[in-house]
C-alpha cells in the first residue's frame, strides 16, 4: 500500500467527526479503535479508501457535509459530548443531523461563545497553541480591584507551578463591591481566569466569553445556536495563518 495515500488515524477520526484529534488519540490509547479488525496504536496510519476503521464496534466514514456552529452556552452545562452521570451537556442544546463536538471548552459555571464542528482539521486549527487565537471574556468580580491586582493579572500569575502569559485586562464598569473586567487571553489553560482571579483575592461572579479571534457572540440569545457564516469560517482560518499575522 502506497505511503502517500495514508494519513494518521487520529486525523481521519477527526475528519469523520468522531472527536477532536486529542480526544481521538485518547480513544486510540484506550484500545477502543480498530483498523481492519485489529486494535490500533497511536502513530498508526491508514488509507481512508481501503481500511475499515471502527470505534467501539461502529464503522466510521468521512462526513461529506461540514458544520460550523456557534452556541451561546448557558451556565450549568458541561462542555462535553456525553456525561457518564447524566448531567446536562452542550449537546442537549444542539439540533443537527451530524456528529459535531465542541472546540475547546467553557467550564460548567461559565457561559458564552462556544464553537462546535465535525471538521477535525478546523477544530485542530482553533485549538493548536501555535495559532494563539485571542479569546475575549467579560468577567464580573467582587469586591473591587486595585492597580496592583490589575498589574499582576496583566503581567502573569503562577498557576499550578507555571506562570500565565501576559494578557490584556481592562476595567469596563466599576461600582461599589463589583467590577466588570475584560480579559483577552491567547492561551487556554484549565479554569485559567478563575484561578488568576483567585490568586489576587477576587471572587468571580460571572464569566462570559464574547469572542474567539475575529468571531463575536453578538446578540445570539443564551442557549441558542446559529451556523457560522462562510465569511466567519474564512476569517478564522485566515487569522491562524502566520503570514496573515505578520501582515496585520
- pLDDT for 222-248, tens place per residue? 999 999 999 999 999 888 655 444 333
Name the percent of the chain lying above pLDDT 90: 67
The number of CA neighbours under 13 Å toward the Cβ of 210 is 13
Q: Which of 83, 107, 109, 201 is catalytic?
A: 107
Residue 63: pLDDT over 80: no
Grid coordinates standing for 120?
477535525
Find the helix packing angle between 120-127 and 230-239, rounded to 10°.
Answer: 50
The answer to whether 90 touches 102, Cβ cutoff 8 Å, is yes
Interatomic CA distance for residues 86 and 51, integer angstroms: 35
Distances from the Cα of 122 to the Cα of 118, 166, 240, angstroms = 9, 26, 10
Predicted confidence (pLDDT) per residue in 114-154, tens digit: 999 998 889 888 887 777 789 999 999 999 999 999 999 99
Residue 190: pLDDT over 50: yes
Name the percent of the chain lying above pLDDT 70: 94
Distances from the Cα of 105 to the Cα of 45, 85, 100, 152, 188, angstroms = 28, 19, 14, 25, 9
pLDDT at residue 1 in the model: 44
pLDDT at residue 128 in the model: 78
Lowest mean pLDDT among 1-15, 62-76, 89-103: 1-15
Interatomic CA distance for residues 74 and 8, integer angstroms: 35
pTM of the model: 0.75
pLDDT at residue 2 in the model: 57
Predicted confidence (pLDDT) per residue in 199-213, tens digit: 999 999 999 999 999
107 is catalytic: yes
The answer to whether 159 touches 215, Cβ cutoff 8 Å, is no
Amino acid at each position: 500500500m502506497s505511503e502517500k495515500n495514508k494519513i494518521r488515524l487520529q486525523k481521519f477520526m477527526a475528519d469523520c467527526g468522531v472527536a477532536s484529534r486529542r480526544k481521538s488519540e485518547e480513544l486510540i490509547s484506550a484500545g477502543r479503535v480498530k483498523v481492519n479488525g485489529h486494535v490500533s496504536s497511536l502513530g498508526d496510519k491508514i488509507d481512508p479508501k481501503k481500511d475499515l476503521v471502527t470505534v467501539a464496534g461502529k464503522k466510521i466514514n468521512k462526513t461529506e457535509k461540514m458544520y460550523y456552529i456557534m452556541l451561546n452556552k448557558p451556565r450549568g452545562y458541561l462542555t462535553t459530548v456525553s456525561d457518564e452521570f447524566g448531567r446536562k451537556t452542550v449537546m442537549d442544546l444542539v439540533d443537527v443531523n451530524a456528529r459535531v463536538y465542541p472546540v475547546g471548552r467553557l467550564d460548567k459555571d461559565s457561559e458564552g461563545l462556544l464553537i462546535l464542528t465535525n471538521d477535525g482539521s478546523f477544530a485542530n486549527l482553533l485549538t493548536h497553541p501555535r495559532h494563539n487565537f485571542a479569546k475575549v471574556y467579560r468577567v464580573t468580580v467582587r469586591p473591587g480591584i486595585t492597580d496592583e491586582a490589575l498589574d499582576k493579572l496583566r503581567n502573569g500569575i503562577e498557576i499550578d507551578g507555571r506562570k500565565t502569559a501576559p494578557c490584556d485586562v481592562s476595567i469596563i464598569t466599576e461600582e461599589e463591591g463589583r467590577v466588570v473586567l475584560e480579559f483577552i487571553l491567547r492561551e487556554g489553560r484549565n479554569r485559567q481566569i478563575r484561578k488568576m482571579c483567585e490568586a489576587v483575592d477576587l471572587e468571580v461572579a460571572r464569566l462570559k466569553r464574547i469572542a474567539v479571534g475575529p468571531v463575536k457572540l453578538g446578540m445570539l440569545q443564551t442557549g441558542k445556536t446559529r451556523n457560522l457564516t462562510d465569511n466567519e469560517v474564512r476569517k478564522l482560518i485566515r487569522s491562524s495563518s502566520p503570514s496573515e499575522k505578520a501582515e496585520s
